[in-house]
A = this chain, B = another copy of it.
Amino acid sequence: MIEAAATKALRDLLGDRLATGRSERDLHGRSETWHAPMPPDAVAYPKDADEVARIVGICARHGVPVIGWGTGTGLEGHAQAPRGGLTVNFRDMAAVLEVMEGDMLVRVQPGVTREALNAELRATGLMFPVDPGANASLGGMASTRASGTTAVRYGTMRDNVRGLELVLPDGRTIRTGTRARKSSAGYDLTALFVGSEGTLGLITELTLRLHPIPEAISAAVCGFRTTDAAISAVTEAMQMGLAPARIEYVDRATVAILNAADAAGLPETPHLLLEFHGSGAGVADEAARFGELAAEHGGSDYRWATRPEERTRLWSMRHRAYHTILASRPGATAIVTDVCVPVTRLGEAIGQAEAEIAASPLAGPILGHVGDGNYHAILLVDRDDPAEIACAKRLSDAMVAHALALGGTATGEHGVGLGKLHLMEAEHGAAWGVMGQIKRALDPEGIMNPGKVIRQN
């Protein structure tokens, strides 16, 4: 519960942009996945950075937890409120503030979604390439260090956030980074705050890198007899200097589900789907060279295309995968795992995951961003069946243990939130303690998104 004096101060500041009704609180307490509802005590809708600073100042004085909220599409309960408090929803801070075409930068408020940004950029010939699937807010994407299908070429949010404006836990506002492409001027606070999931402060503005919309795009698809063969083709391609913009993996189980759904008649083997960005001649050359490599690794039925409608057709397997998997068990919820391993160990990691899923009562087709070594098992569970939830969590934890043994990480792109907190000590060892020292230095009262990333008493 927020004490009355704090509520009054917030009400005086925000008027009816402070919501305390049941339905809005519940809406901000839910999760996309298996976490139980954890609503905040109130929801604020600030209209600018100055209001955010005042809100945090009030919360600091009264010890009220502060949780940032973008689109609510996080998968690990990042924006839930296990200790109540105030959720700060950035819905009304969704302006594209400045497009700097020549420097290929854009300054945005945190509530702008990636699709809205790209729509706004269309006339410039530039794009923001990070694509986590969901139409997430850019503030949320920075907070979880999101990435997705294009990271193999364009990097993650780590690589594409040039600077931030932030409100710290004590209400101070700082700016990190510059508009220059590089700097050696002290500690890299931008990188520290990207991926900190709102536990060190709230992002009120982002300066993002943009990239040219490619002159040409080629798309390709290929079946392989085994996952290992597909991975070998990928690692060799990257060692040769091919630079695909996307390299997606679809496992045998997913292909079977697609065939069952619409009699697509696809060969039921692991598949790779690729995309190349560049000049017309360049993307044709890259697609052809990957085809040769794929053949050397026993790839079959390699096809590639550059015309948009043909590209869409080649990639339809991937575009339909997630929803077809979900629909394959009506009423099911997905628990999506997210380990990331060195690419050379990916075949082994996926093989072990497939075996463990096969030995369990659950279905769990696998999709992967293989250029990064990141894969997701889509574990289908009945949300109301605790035994199934427990089984999915056991499978997920086993994949993490295996990934850590291979030199990987518990989460390639979804973040820690509530769902991966118990794995951080195993992953980081004493370095997790250093993260805790930084957290306590900047947020000694522990008001910023408590219970996430760092264990707090």
Contact = CB atoms under 8 A, between A and B. Distances in A.
Contact of A192 (B173, B180, B188, B279): B188
A453 B241 contact: no
A429 interface: yes
A82 interface: no
A437 B194 CA distance: 18
Contact of A281 (B144, B281, B454): B281
A109 interface: no
A431 B239 contact: no
B239 A180 contact: no
Nearest to A216: B241
Nearest to A403: B180
A285 B281 CA distance: 9
A442 B431 contact: no
B156 A182 contact: yes
Contact of A344 (B100, B183, B415): B100
A324 interface: no
Interface string A124-161: 01100000000000000000111100011000101100
Interface of A: 100-105, 125-126, 144-147, 151-152, 156, 158-159, 168, 172-176, 178-189, 191-192, 194-196, 200, 211-212, 214-215, 235, 238-241, 278-279, 281-282, 285, 338, 340-344, 371-374, 403, 406-416, 420, 423-424, 427-432, 434-435, 437-438, 440-442, 453-454
14 contacts: A102-B239, A146-B184, A158-B182, A174-B430, A180-B409, A181-B371, A181-B374, A182-B340, A184-B409, A186-B196, A212-B239, A212-B241, A282-B285, A441-B441
